[in-house]
Amino acid sequence: MTAASPSRPAADATIPDASIPDAREPDAPVHDVPGTDVDLPPAPTLSAAGDLLRALAAPVRIAIVLQLRSSPRCVHELVDALAVTQPLISQHLRVLKSAGVVRGERRGREVVYRLVDHHLAHIVLDAVEHAGEEA
């Protein structure tokens, strides 16, 4: 264990900071953060947004959202379009479904997936466009 310098606490020290949303009570609104003039949403809303972004944070899931923005697709269509295995597509669809990004509708032996909200496609498109600008 290393000693902390006077200007820096030890790495394992926990110092709550009320200006950091995670350091507040879970349901407390996150307003009037020192040094800003922006009203932030309540902490649960920020947490839900973080969960949504984590659900989108995989290249295969990004590709699935991009495929679904044009039309609903069944699993085998996603497998063909993305050239990945069916179990991998199904695993990623489960993550997206549990995050509320996609929903499935059974049609006979197949399940057709569609985006729940097309705002999500805009988030993904903006992220892809931004990443392309930096490349």
pLDDT tens, residue by residue, 4-45:
444 444 444 444 444 444 554 555 555 555 666 778 899 999
The DSSP line for 37-84 is --PPPPHHHHHHHHHHHHHT-SHHHHHHHHHHTTS-EEHHHHHHHHT-
- Phi, psi (5° rounding) for residue 67? -65, -40
Contact present, 85 and 79 (Cβ < 8 Å): yes
What is the domain partition of the chain in residue ranges? 50-134
pLDDT tens digits along 39-80? 889 999 999 999 999 999 999 999 999 999 999 999 999 999
The enclosing H or E element of 106 equals strand 102-107
Q: Which residue has the tokens 């989108």?
A: 56
Q: Is the pTM of this model over 0.75?
A: no
- Residue 1 to residue 11: CA distance in whole angstroms: 9
50-134: CATH topology is: Arc Repressor Mutant, subunit A (1.10.10)
